[in-house]
Structure 1
Amino acid sequence: MRKLLIYGLVVVFTLLVAFLGFFGYEKYKKANNIRQHLHAKWEKPEGYNEINQLLDKSGLSGTVTILKDGKLIYQAERGYADYKKQKPLNDKNMFLIGSANKLLTGVLVKRLVDEKKIDINLPVSHYITNFGHDEITVNDLIKHESGLTRYKPPMTINGLDASVQTIIQSPFDSRFHHKFYYSDGNYILLAKIVENITHQTFQENMRQTLFEPMKLQNTMFFDAPNLTAHRVEGMNIVKGNLKRAFATGLDKYYGAGNIYMSGYDFAQVINNLNNQHYFDYNHQNLPKYQYGFYNKQGYKRTRGYFYGTEFIAWFNQDKIIVLTSNIVDTSNYKKNENLVKQIYTTL
């Protein structure tokens, strides 16, 4: 009898959890169907109705920002910044940008290269003396061709210096030297090179080179004291249920993915760089990846996916599309990337 009672309680509890998960997922879908804030002070761009239809169909929880010829033509926020409190998203909300951070790190490195303070053909050990692996150059890091294995930091370490030591002690796979093999460790090492060259912290470099000159109003490092008010927490859809993804250990990802930004701020960075002719849109023999972005036929792209948030940008000299999302469907990681592609071809 007691076993039957326990079994019955387990069944009831399981059904209750499933119901609450389903209810939460249904509430998410409903929120995305009814919550859409479109700024009305711009003329409707070409493809305006088609873009709205794409967003309606996608069920996106996040933001879309579009610039064309350097001007903001479309901005939308859908869903909630906090689903528990049902706090709607707005254009000041900041998302963890994940690996899109590498584009910002790449800007710092490229500036120092242009100033002839970094020679990309020199070994990394020239700038980080205890690195070893003299066969690995700075350019190998920039292109993810170093042969360094995946970066998997232990939870016991803290800060950039400890991250660098972890990478130094990690395996090197010569099979992937001079072949594309993505590793956060490459850009963490680049962040340390920036510090060693400038004798300033990576954060100070970022503020002085990008945040302040470009007047980024909604961009902060993960540990900024005033981030909480506008920070968006990521969530994953796992088997139909919404599960919150708590971002922890971000101090282990300087240079690779610990900055929070609004989609608009990121679009402004790219627009500023376009105005400075930073990107090469004409050369045909560009590497697959360099300075934090992928070279594609006719456009560039960068994508960050980290702790239930997604940050995607497609851009060329004429148009910039930035999509952010705080809900990621773990069964379909390409869903939002495909949405950006559809928007890009619509414009």
Structure 2
Amino acid sequence: MQSVPDAVDGAAERTGFSGVVRLDRSGETEFSTAYGYADRAHGVLNTVETLFATASGSKGLTALAVMSLVERGTLELGTTARSLLGKDLPLIADNVTIEQLLAHRSGIGDYLDEDAVGDISDYVMPVSVHELPTTELFLPVLDGHETAFPAGERFAYNNGGYVVLALLAERASGVDFQQLVRTLVCEPAGMVDTAFLRSDELPGRAALGYLSVDGLRTNVFHLPVLGSGDGGIYSTAADLSAFWDSLFAGRIASPERVAEMVRPHSNWPKESKRYGLGFHLHATGDGVWLEGYDAGVSFASLHQPCSSITYTVISNWSDGAWPIIRLLNDRLGT
């Protein structure tokens, strides 16, 4: 049978994959390989040290930052959004809690309804992306969306809810959200190359995000200029492997809090999975992962405790990662 690295190489060649694939077993790196270009126009190749956007993969880090504030007594899972929002976002029900927002069970209206978007590369923000360099400036984007269902009634994936979480974390702590993630999550996890980066001043190691398998059109007009609670942090495959090691070693949050976050809080039959607090969960097994999909970004990083397998597939074009992810899940039984 063809080895996993050879199978990945073949799939990458067939599909035009651009990004990095890394596989670890029992703490040892089996392979880590880069493909394609970080900057097509200038012929800059991706490397295993390239920084890639992760889109909604950031939600797990947002959840951990919030949970760290809970552990410190700054917030409680039962804290209501209204207690910190005051008169802002009046359509959010008064009984919506931090825990419901984390679990996508808040019922609040969402500024980004993924079911209605269609082609992700056609979606544009309702305001100019350069107007969104801080979490507080998302208020006009978050406002005006009617409640979809009563808080706690059911699960519905909600991007806006995670921006609200970032806003609540900022207001409760008095610290910018991006700094909270850095100090409460990235630093204890040893994620030295992970950060929120402005799309209009990316460093040389960062990959540009492309809207198709070829061509030069990037996602610079499609995403907020700086990510917030629902997505946008940049990372490397090595940092994401360090993340899983640190998460389950209790270096980011206590083992008890981590266990609560990776416990199923909802079934998600439409996607054949379950969901915890900030983490995607296998429908029947113990696999837990982060996942992101946006214009110019496709990403998943999975850890399966029973097999001690960790993999990361991170791509700088919208649909690049999914064929490789399907291959790995099939070959690895994840």
> TM-score if structure 2 supplies the norm length?
0.78
- The residue identity in structure 2 corresponding to 1:266 is L
Distance (Å, rounded) in 2 between the aligned partners of 1:54 and 1:279: 34
CA contact (8 A) 1:220 1:227 kept: no
Structure 2 vs 1, CA of residues 118 and 99 (structure 1 numbering), >3 Å: closer, same or farther?
Answer: same
Distance (Å, rounded) in 2 between the aligned partners of 1:283 and 1:180: 16
CA contact (8 A) 1:247 1:307 kept: no
Which residue is equivalent to 2:269? none
User: SS at the partner of 2:31?
Assistant: strand
- The residue identity in structure 2 corresponding to 1:100 is G
Which residue is equivalent to 1:14? none
Which residue is equivalent to 1:256? 230
Aligned residue among 274, 280, 283 for 2:248: 274
Deviation at 1:105, TM superposition (A): 0.5
Distance (Å, rounded) in 2 between the aligned partners of 1:117 and 1:173: 29
Deviation at 1:140, TM superposition (A): 1.5
Distance (Å, rounded) in 2 between the aligned partners of 1:212 and 1:225: 25
Give the fraction of aligned pairs with identical amino acids, expressed as a percent: 21
Deviation at 1:113, TM superposition (A): 2.2
CA contact (8 A) 1:105 1:291 kept: no
Aligned residue among 108, 122, 125 for 2:65: 108
Aligned residue among 40, 44, 67 for 1:87: 44
- The residue identity in structure 1 corresponding to 2:301 is A
Deviation at 1:285, TM superposition (A): 5.1
CA contact (8 A) 1:110 1:291 kept: no
Structure 2 vs 1, CA of residues 279 and 69 (structure 1 numbering), >3 Å: closer, same or farther?
Answer: farther
CA RMSD in angstroms, aligned pairs only? 3.0
- The residue identity in structure 2 corresponding to 1:169 is G
| Corresponding pairs, count | 297
Q: Does 1:231 align with 2:206?
A: yes
Which residue is equivalent to 1:67? 24
Distance (Å, rounded) in 2 between the aligned partners of 1:213 and 1:285: 25
Aligned residue among 128, 135, 144 for 2:104: 144
User: SS at the partner of 1:237?
Assistant: coil
Q: Does 1:244 align with 2:217?
A: yes
CA contact (8 A) 2:190 2:243 kept: no
Which deviates more, 257-266 or 94-103? 257-266
- The residue identity in structure 1 corresponding to 2:219 is F
> TM-score if structure 1 supplies the norm length?
0.75
- The residue identity in structure 2 corresponding to 1:280 is A
Deviation at 1:89, TM superposition (A): 0.9
User: SS at the partner of 2:108?
Assistant: coil
Distance (Å, rounded) in 2 between the aligned partners of 1:129 and 1:343: 51
Which residue is equivalent to 1:294? 280
User: SS at the partner of 1:190?
Assistant: helix
1:37-67 CA distance string (max 9 Å, x none): xxxxxxxxx8444444454454421101122
- The residue identity in structure 2 corresponding to 1:136 is V
Structure 2 vs 1, CA of residues 267 and 244 (structure 1 numbering), >3 Å: closer, same or farther?
Answer: farther
Structure 2 vs 1, CA of residues 226 and 53 (structure 1 numbering), >3 Å: closer, same or farther?
Answer: same
Deviation at 1:309, TM superposition (A): 1.6
Structure 2 vs 1, CA of residues 110 and 340 (structure 1 numbering), >3 Å: closer, same or farther?
Answer: farther
How is 1:1-347 mapped onto 2 (pairs within 5 angstroms)?
47-130=4-87, 131-132=89-90, 133-152=93-112, 153-156=125-128, 157-158=131-132, 159-174=134-149, 178-223=153-198, 227-237=202-212, 242=215, 244-248=217-221, 249-251=223-225, 253-276=227-250, 277=255, 279-280=258-259, 286-287=265-266, 288-296=274-282, 297-317=285-305, 318-329=308-319, 334-345=322-333
Q: Normalized per residue, which structure has more helix? A: 1
